[in-house]
Copies of this chain bind each other. A is one copy, B any other.
Amino acid sequence: MNKSVSDIIEEFIMSSLDDDSFIELSRNDLAKFFACVPSQINYVLNTRFTINRGFVVESQRGGAGYIKVSRVKDNDDNFLKNALDLCATPLNLTDANQLLTQMAERKLLTANECELIKTTISAKALNNPINIDNNIRSNILKQVIIKLMQKQK
């Protein structure tokens, strides 16, 4: 199988990631290095360095812009990964709260953190004119889970 440029860029980022749990790179430099357009870097990031594959990508535009790629781990028996899957569909308040309670039981969250996050997805918090609460709720939860994965070093 002969490799595409995207494959090669993927390998490059992968191996840079071998040593450390994250790397910071410049989109433009990387593009120049691999003689491709900058947006191809985004393509690689979007197709290969997804949360489902255990990566988180953060970035900043403008002056001192950068892209940061980090590996995350799910030490907790795929619990977080499954939770992430659950969040793919809209979650009602009850289910979401149950999920959070479980996270606290597993010590992924402190009691306090659990409580606070429950308030952020409460009916009062999300109450909005259009009825898309459950969508937002699972979206919020998804981001919380990703953040927890980042912490699971």
Interface set, chain A 103-153, CB cutoff 8 A to B: 109-110, 112-113, 115-117, 119-122, 124-130, 132, 135-136, 139-140, 142-144, 146-147
Kindly identify which residue among B4, B135, B146 contacts A119, using a CB–CB cutoff of 8 Å: B146
A1 to B26, CA, bound (A): 10
CB distance from A140 to the nearest CB of B (A): 4
A66 within 8 A of B: yes
Do residues A116 and B132 form an inter-chain contact, with CB atoms below 8 A?
A: no
A85 within 8 A of B: no
Most buried by B among A128, A135, A140: A140
Do residues A144 and B129 form an inter-chain contact, with CB atoms below 8 A?
A: no
A82 within 8 A of B: no
Do residues A124 and B143 form an inter-chain contact, with CB atoms below 8 A?
A: yes
Do residues B113 and A4 form an inter-chain contact, with CB atoms below 8 A?
A: no
A110 to B113, CA, bound (A): 9
Do residues B139 and A119 form an inter-chain contact, with CB atoms below 8 A?
A: no
Do residues B140 and A135 form an inter-chain contact, with CB atoms below 8 A?
A: no
Contact with B along A1-27 (1 / 0, CB 8 A): 111101100000000000000001010
CB distance from A48 to the nearest CB of B (A): 14
A115 to B113, CA, bound (A): 10
